[in-house]
Amino acid sequence: MKNQEIKFQNKSEKYSIFIGENSINLLPNKIKTLCPETKKIGVIIDKNIPSKFKQLLKKKLKGYEVFILPFIANEKNKSLNKTYSLLNILLSKNLNRSDLIIGFGGGITGDVASFVASIYKRGINFINIPTTLLAQVDSSIGGKTGVNSRHGKNLIGSFYQPKLVLIDTTFLESLPRKQMICGYAEILKHSIIKDKIFFNWLKKNTKLILDKKKRELIYAIKKSCQIKMFFVSRDTNEKNLRMTLNFGHTFAHAIEVKNNYSKKSTHGEAVLSGMILASKFSVYKKLCSSKTLNEIKNIYIQNNLDYTYNKYSNKKEIDKLLPFLKNDKKNNDGRINFILLNHIGKTTLSNQNKISLKHLRGITQAIAQY
């Protein structure tokens, strides 16, 4: 199947995303075209990537002075300390602004690599090669970079667009089902917030995506990227419309922080939990119908994903999340700023549904019952 191209463009920036099997083969010519003065390349690479893929990337960079910076991709390494360490290595190699940094790995690697690129000498060329489904459909698109702090996730960062994103589905071959589910969560979210037709397609094809069937997987990735691009291109710096992409994430980030970013639960599983909680809250507020909630639940049940929300089906477990909601990035006045659901394909906007922790604590029993 031919590589699919999606183009990002706003008033000041443009770049392409290529999706398909072996899209990595495009890399040498794209570097020559997009970064013609590059001589040195720093590759921030997830240490867990299979060696055959590492060797493949090195082969594609033949002719450049390449510095490999191995990175242990976990939420604890997504930090200012690790950023400082990577910056010092790159500075010692004397890369200049016409050189290039490549992020090669999942979302954590991409977030850190792009953050490093954005602040290295006030900005150096950056190419993102995401190797997990989650990174391919979410964090590699839109130019958000960042690291965590003890106060919450992604609270330190910048907006910085890459020169190119290469989404190669062959990198998903070694991905376990748990990681496929992690990426699928964002695909499902994109359909819920924007596209009823895509949501209905997912009803029939979710199993094929999770089983890595190429045609369905490439279509789902492309469609998901297009939806994210819709929001990003209209609101690059996340002032209003782009916050729609945070549907389910207010609860999800609370779950992650509460669990201290445990490997037992992935970001995507937290998002799957968070979307159900947000949908229940939407029903409670009479913004959407119980029928809509049940439509979403049915996709979970049919694909054995209901384990992600069953734990949060009682007041006690929801209440445990509340203290971790206060540092969400969407909050701007001490209240929790929720993105809620009207129906499949449409959400409320940011700042339309704010609620204090005290008020929220009083209605968790009602939310849990749906």
302, HSE (Cβ side, Cα atoms, 13 Å) = 14
Residue 39 scores a pLDDT above 70: yes
Cα distance between residue 127 and residue 125, in whole Å: 7
pLDDT per residue as tens digits for the range 162-188: 999 999 999 999 899 999 999 999 999
Strand partners, 282: none
Q: Average pLDDT of the chain? A: 93
Query: Which residue did the predictor score with more confidence, 269 or 237?
Result: 269
Q: What is the pLDDT of residue 330?
A: 62
Q: Is the pLDDT of residue 334 over 80?
A: no
Helix, coil or strand: residue 130 = strand
Using pLDDT thresholds of 50, 70 and 90, give the confidence band for residue 329: low
Lowest mean pLDDT among 238-242, 317-321, 322-326: 238-242
pLDDT at 261 over 80: no
> If DSSP codes are grouped into helix, strand and coil, which group holds residue 247?
coil
108-141 pLDDT, tens digit per residue, is: 999 999 999 999 999 999 999 999 999 999 989 8
**DSSP code of residue 74:** S
Higher pLDDT, 46 or 9: 46
Q: What is the pLDDT of residue 360?
A: 92
Is it the case that residue 333 has pLDDT exceeding 80? no
- Biggest CA pair distance of the chain: 63
Distance from C-alpha of 329 to C-alpha of 155, rounded to nearest angstrom = 7
* Structure tokens, 22: 């072996």
- The single-letter DSSP state of residue 68 is E
Average pLDDT rounded to a whole number, residues 347-366: 90
Average pLDDT over residues 340-352: 93
Judge whether residue 100 has pLDDT over 80: yes
Beta strand pairing call for 336-337 and 144-149 = unpaired
What is the chain's percent helix, strand, coil content, to nearest 5? Answer: 50, 20, 30
Torsion (CA) 65, 59, 21, 72 in degrees, nearest 10:
-60
The pTM assigned to this predicted structure is: 0.91
Q: State the pLDDT confidence band at 332, using cuts at 50, 70 and 90.
A: low
- Mean pLDDT throughout 291-312? 96
Burial class (CB in 10 A: 0-12, 13-18, 19+), 33: exposed
pLDDT at 213: 95
